[in-house]
Amino acid sequence: MAILPHPRQIQMAVVDWLDQRFPFTQSVDEALYQRVPNFANAFYYCFGGMVFVLIVLQLVTGVLLAIYYVPDAAGNPAPAYTSVQTTIMKDVSLGWLIRGVHFWGANLLVVMIVVHMARVFWTGSYRAPRELNWMVGVVLLLVVLFFSLTGYLLPWDTKAYWATSVTLQVMRGAPVVGGLIASILQGSSTLGPQTLQRFFDIHVFILPALVLLFMYIHFRLIRRHGISEPL
Amino acid sequence: MKERAGILVTQWDGYLREGPGAVTTAVPIVEVESGEHVLEPPSKRMQIGPDHILYPILIGLALFPILMGASGHHLADDLPEDETHPFFPDHFWPYPVIMAMMLFTVGLLAALVQQNMQLGPSADPRTVVNPRPDWYFLWLFQFLKVGNEIITAYVIPAIIVIGLLLWPFIDQALGSRLARRLHWPWWPVPGRNVITGTAWVLFMTFLVAFTFWAIVPVTIFGIGGSTT
């Protein structure tokens, strides 16, 4: 009977095998044992981290909600409405909690972004060499606002319908490109099932990809610049 | 079977050794330049090396920074050792605590405050209701009622977004000019951020005032709040 190797030896074999293909151990060391200036311990540097936690929470709960949500606005009551009001809120176990976390997370996210922005504003962290990261952050803010704009329509109740109708009406009035943007978003001559389908597509496919991309750039630049010195 | 002596081979335990017991021939280790990076001395690190049972968890934690790649020379690399601390665990530990607190807060809100997420009846183009946007768009909603629509709906929001985007450059241009006029010895002034702070407070006041105006039934200059 062969003698089984100690688990530690198996682990070391795996680590060595990995290290020969990519410097994992070195990367772990560089990531974890980087030195951080002591001034970075101030409490107000954690708001950005809170925003990150909330965005991850939104992605997780959003994926869970998408299992039961039906982006179909035909008829009254529409399947989109019943899938939220009945399936998620009543039938599925803990569905109400997942939707609640998604709802309140979205609200808290906007609050925390404003707080994080206020901190960056106040400590002057947007100044050289961090201008580019500030601009990436503003783009992220716009992406998040567009997230909440598209997400607001998805339950397909009257108040979402008419709020979106006003939004599209305002967009349509914008000079030069307004009509084009509004017609792309609306998708048909009236606000209807096509609009919901497009808002769902934007909310679930386009914006998450954008938010992940810009978050990656945001963090990459932070790692490059380091944490800015306080006032 | 004959082994060729003098060639380093990987054995089942992963170590490179000479001689018999070879499973595969050695793969050259890929060296990636780490630049001028100064890391925590091993004596200050937590004693969890690649042979520790918790190491896979550490890899999981570090996966995100691994994706990030090397970050190059840092401010912290030039600071004396007693003015810095290791990222892990000293700087990292509050974040799981913050995460737990946020999960708890959001979960509590979801469990206890249900009325904000209640839906109206299913949408019907024939039933017109008074449209209300989300609370963070209320200021814009109220602002649309003030003055010319072209200006309040398009020009000023566009100015706000472009101003935010280009703020670092605006601040640089304005700040140094203001500093020269006020005979400040340097710009930016250490310890205070006058222009930006004032702009932020004014902008926030504007947002909060219009949000309140949208909520409370107050009529100013013939323009109503929540009732219209």
* Cα(B137)–Cα(B158) distance, integer angstroms: 15
Query: CA angle A163-A169-A174, nearest 5°?
Result: 130
Chain B residues lying within 8 Å of A156, measured CB to CB: 122-123
Given CB atoms, is B200 within the 8 Å cutoff of chain A?
Answer: yes
Instruction: State how far residue A123 is from chain B, nearest Cα, in angstroms.
Output: 7
What amino acid is encoded at A206 in this protein?
I
Q: How many domains does chain B have?
A: 2
Chain B residues lying within 8 Å of A70, measured CB to CB: none
Residues in chain A: 231
Q: Tell which of B15, B31, B58, B91 to mutate to test the A interface (max A CBs under 10 Å).
A: B91
In this structure, is residue A213 part of a structural domain? Answer: yes
Residues 6+ apart with CB under 8 A from B140: B133, B157, B210
- The bridge status of strand B9-10 relative to strand B16-17 is antiparallel
For chain A, how many helices (H) and strands (E)?
10, 1
In this structure, is residue A61 part of a structural domain? Answer: yes
Residues 6+ apart with CB under 8 A from B61: A31, A32, B88, B92
Residues B167 and B140 in one domain: yes
User: At residue B13, does pLDDT exceed 60?
Assistant: no
Query: What pLDDT is attached to residue B23?
Result: 44
Given CB atoms, is A158 within the 8 Å cutoff of chain B?
Answer: yes
Query: What pLDDT is attached to residue B25?
Result: 44
For chain B, how many helices (H) and strands (E)?
8, 4
A 55-114 residues with CB below 8 A of B? 57, 73, 76-78, 81-82, 84-85, 96-97, 99-101, 103-105, 107-108, 110
Cis peptide before A129 (omega within 30 of 0): yes
Full residue range of the structural domain in which residue A113 is found = 44-225
Across the interface, whether the CB atoms of B50 and A25 are under 8 A apart is answered yes
Beta bridge partners of A37: B84
pTM, rounded to two decimals: 0.83
- Provide the pLDDT confidence category of residue B3 given band limits of 50, 70 and 90: very low
Query: What pLDDT is attached to residue A1?
Result: 61
In this structure, is residue B153 part of a structural domain? Answer: yes
A183-203, pLDDT tens digit by residue?
999 999 999 999 999 999 999
* Cα(B144)–Cα(A159) distance, integer angstroms: 19
Nearest-by-CA chain A residue for B12: A13
B54-96, pLDDT tens digit by residue?
888 887 777 776 777 766 677 777 788 888 888 888 888 889 9
Q: Tell which of A3, A32, A56, A164 to mutate to test the B interface (max B CBs under 10 Å).
A: A32
In this structure, is residue A171 part of a structural domain? Answer: yes
In this structure, is residue B4 part of a structural domain? Answer: no
Residues B171 and B200 in one domain: yes
The closest CB to that of B123, out of A16, A122, A158, belongs to A158
CB A125 within 8 A of CB A133: no
**Could you say which residues of chain A have pLDDT below 70?**
1, 231
CA distances from B13 to A3, A44, A225, B10, B45 (A): 13, 47, 40, 8, 26
Q: How many domains does chain A have?
A: 1
- Provide the pLDDT confidence category of residue B50 given band limits of 50, 70 and 90: confident
Query: What pLDDT is attached to residue A231?
Result: 62
CATH code of the domain covering residue B159: 1.10.287
In this structure, is residue A5 part of a structural domain? Answer: no
Rg value, chain B, Cα: 30
CB atoms within 10 A of CB A87: 16
Chain A residues lying within 8 Å of B129, measured CB to CB: 158-159, 162
Instruction: State how far residue B23 is from chain A, nearest Cα, in angstroms.
Output: 12
User: At residue B194, does pLDDT exceed 80?
Assistant: no
Residues B104 and B156 in one domain: no
In this structure, is residue B44 part of a structural domain? Answer: no
Chain A residues lying within 8 Å of B102, measured CB to CB: 50, 53-54, 57, 108
In this structure, is residue A13 part of a structural domain? Answer: no
Q: Exposed, middle or buried, A29 (CB in 10 Å: 0-12/13-18/19+)?
A: buried
Closest among A33, A9, A32 to B58, alpha carbons compared:
A32
* Cα(A191)–Cα(A102) distance, integer angstroms: 25
* Cα(B208)–Cα(B158) distance, integer angstroms: 19
Residues 6+ apart with CB under 8 A from B206: B139
Beta bridge partners of B39: A34
Residues B111 and B179 in one domain: no
Helix pair angle (A178-186, A193-201), 10° resolution:
100
Per-state percent for chain B, helix, strand, coil, to nearest 5:
50, 5, 45
Chain A residues lying within 8 Å of B59, measured CB to CB: 24, 28
B122-160, pLDDT tens digit by residue?
888 888 787 778 888 889 888 888 888 888 889 999 999
What amino acid is encoded at A218 in this protein?
H
CATH code of the domain covering residue A49: 1.20.810.10
In this structure, is residue B207 part of a structural domain? Answer: yes
Full residue range of the structural domain in which residue B92 is found = 74-115
Chain B residues lying within 8 Å of A216, measured CB to CB: 67
A 3-62 residues with CB below 8 A of B? 5, 7-9, 11-17, 19-38, 40-41, 46, 49-50, 53-54, 57
* Cα(B166)–Cα(B163) distance, integer angstroms: 5
User: At residue B11, does pLDDT exceed 80?
Assistant: no
User: At residue B189, does pLDDT exceed 70?
Assistant: no
CB B102 within 8 A of CB A53: yes
Rg value, chain A, Cα: 23
Query: What pLDDT is attached to residue A114?
Result: 94
